[in-house]
Amino acid sequence: MMRRCILLPAAIAALMLHDVKAFCQNNVIDEIVWVVGDEAIYKSEVEEARHDAQMRGTRFDGDPYCIIPEQLAVNKLFLNQAELDSIFATDDDVRQQVEYYYNEMVAQAGSEEKLLKDQSMTSDQIRNRLFETNRQELIISRVRQKLLEKVKVTPADVRRYMRDMSADDIPYVPTQVEVQIITLDPTIPQEEIDAVKAELRDYTERVQSGEVSFSTLAILYSEDPGTARNGGDCGFFGRGEMVPEFSTVAFNMNDPDRVSKIVETEYGFHILQFVERLGDRVRVRHILKKPVVPDESIDNCLARLDTIARDIRDGNHSFEFCVTAYSQDKETFKNNGLMTFRADPSMPGTSKFEMQQLPQDVAKVIDRMQVGDISAPFTYRLQNGKITCAVVKLKNKIYGHKATMADDFQILHDIVYNSRCQETLEKWIREKQRTTYVKISQGWNDCEFIYPGWGKN
């Protein structure tokens, strides 16, 4: 078995008295378990990957000491291709991924305090563990995207898929619902908005006078959890990657010694500080403050929606009329209030939701309703973190059924597309296996691998 000896500081003196070779043989800290091309996979990497998977709540369908090394080996193939194709991920891209996963872990644990206690680590230690894993995952994702660029599926392909399939193999579509929504935003008192703006102006004066750095104030006061810990640093982004109001100001800045005017977006109020520009991408820091919505405003909003819902139930107005007359939901206003689900922002949306795909606050209400029912008013937390008030109508409920071309074309299209993507990637992996040197150490090769060709080239 191939081994790596790591010399720790406390062991240096021992080397003066003992033979180096004997020392390494008796003090194995790590060992090579696989070799893929000219890259080694160490036992410690397997253990770290297993620990990271546990941190994310991943469960293994089989022996992790078979599954993980093979997946690491596949990753080595993708990373090798990334080098050949000059595909990379910047530190800023990776940090955004790390923050996403870190926030997911906090949500799963229930609180940041509980997460740190459960992991016996500081927040910085957890982020550092996630950083390299996420860097590699981001690069691998980009390699996969490039390999799948030419995969296309036509309506004829979908029809052929259905024609060639036995009745028993036709996919089962879970129960889906179509939901219409009317939302009203609680009124924020002008004095609350003025107080937030005054606070941001005070930050601006303190930064520009040299009293304190922008990043320090962001860490202390910004209400954007994704950037506050990094001093408000948003990383590099293009014009279309942020909301328009934010992007317009960011791309007009060029002086790192100046703080922007106050910017209002759907998230709240911001001030920005320019950091640097790279081609058509810009990097800024920001501080976000959100006005507090008084309970009285929420109660008034719910009372108004209660009246609207009663008018609809009494037949005085249609739900569609009330959407046009009252709703403040920009996503559904022009579609008679019909909510839309997009698994992929780049793909067309669908009005059909599985229950787990609905926003949690909406799903809780819809679960108790019959088709045609109008809900009681309720509060609803939007993706941007704001609280709004809503009533919903269960427009349609499609019970679980075997898929048909007429009703479930998009589902069938996605099945065919995903199948072709999987076939393309598997073919590529097997070809790389045949041309890549692989050696598996004794004790690590007694596995039923997904790709059984390892080490046979």
**What confidence tens digit (pLDDT) does each residue in 76-133 have?**
999 999 999 999 888 777 877 787 777 777 777 777 788 888 888 887 888 888 888 8
As a whole number of angstroms, the distance between CA 457 and CA 443 comes to 20
Q: How far is CA 412 from the centre of its chain?
A: 25
pLDDT higher at 9 or 43: 43
Tell me, yes or no, if the two domains 173-187+294-402 and 190-289 fold the same way.
yes
Name the one residue in this structure whose structure tokens are 């390699």: 143
User: What integer is the mean pLDDT of 196-201?
Assistant: 97
31-150+422-440, what's its fold?
Triger factor/SurA peptide-binding fold (1.10.4030)
- In sequence order, what are the residues at sequence separation of 6 or more whose Cβ sits closer than 8 angstroms to the Cβ of residue 47? none
Q: Please name the amino acid found at residue 353.
A: F
Among 104-108, 120-124, 163-167, 256-260, the range scoring the smallest mean pLDDT is: 104-108
As a whole number of angstroms, the distance between CA 333 and CA 330 comes to 5
As a whole number of angstroms, the distance between CA 247 and CA 231 comes to 19
Q: How confident is the model at residue 134 (pLDDT cuts 50, 70, 90)?
A: confident
| Cα-based distances in Å from 392 to 224, 302, 306, 310, 367 | 29, 13, 11, 12, 12
3-state secondary structure the chain: CCEECCCCHHHHHHHCCCCHHHHHHHCCCEEEEEEECCEEEEHHHHHHHHHHHHHHCCCCCCCHHHHHHHHHHHHHHHHHHHHHHCCCCCHHHHHHHHHHHHHHHHHHHCCHHHHHHHHCCCHHHHHHHHHHHHHHHHHHHHHHHHHCCCCCCCHHHHHHHHHCCCHHHCCEECCEEEEEEEEECCCCCHHHHHHHHHHHHHHHHHHHCCCCCHHHHHHHHCCCCCCHHHCCEEEEECHHHCCHHHHHHHHCCCCCCCECCCEEECCEEEEEEEEEEECCEEEEEEEEECCCCCHHHHHHHHHHHHHHHHHHHCCCCCHHHHHHHHCCCCCCHHHCCECCECCCCCCCCECCEEHHHCCHHHHHHHCCCCCCCECCCEEEECCCCCEEEEEEEEEEEECCEECCHHHHHHHHHHHHHHHHHHHHHHHHHHHHHHHCCEEECCCCCCCCCCCCCCCCC
Among 8-12, 68-72, 283-287, the range scoring the smallest mean pLDDT is: 8-12
Residue 281 has a pLDDT of: 84
Residue 14 has pLDDT above 90, yes or no: no
**Torsions phi, psi for 421 (to 5 deg):** -60, -45
Residue 29 has a pLDDT of: 60
Q: In this structure, are residues 387 and 330 in contact, taking their beta carbons and an 8 Å threshold? A: no
Q: How confident is the model at residue 331 (pLDDT cuts 50, 70, 90)?
A: confident
pLDDT higher at 91 or 356: 356
Residue 26 has a pLDDT of: 44
pLDDT higher at 203 or 133: 203
Among 40-54, 61-75, 162-176, the range scoring the smallest mean pLDDT is: 40-54
| Cα-based distances in Å from 116 to 106, 120, 155 | 9, 6, 50
User: What integer is the mean pLDDT of 133-139?
Assistant: 88
User: What integer is the mean pLDDT of 276-293?
Assistant: 91
190-289, what's its fold?
Chitinase A; domain 3 (3.10.50)
**Averaged pLDDT score across all residues of the chain:** 87
Among 48-62, 294-308, 402-416, the range scoring the smallest mean pLDDT is: 48-62
pLDDT per residue as tens digits for the range 369-419: 999 999 999 998 887 778 999 999 999 999 999 999 988 898 899 899 999
Phi-psi category of 231—alpha, beta or left, where left has phi over 0 and alpha has psi -120 to 50? Answer: left
Q: How confident is the model at residue 344 (pLDDT cuts 50, 70, 90)?
A: low
Beta-bridge mates of residue 380: 388
As a whole number of angstroms, the distance between CA 314 and CA 279 comes to 59
Residue boundaries of the structural domains of the chain: 31-150+422-440, 173-187+294-402, 190-289
173-187+294-402, what's its fold?
Chitinase A; domain 3 (3.10.50)
Q: How confident is the model at residue 322 (pLDDT cuts 50, 70, 90)?
A: very high
| Cα-based distances in Å from 415 to 40, 70, 160, 399, 420 | 36, 26, 13, 20, 9
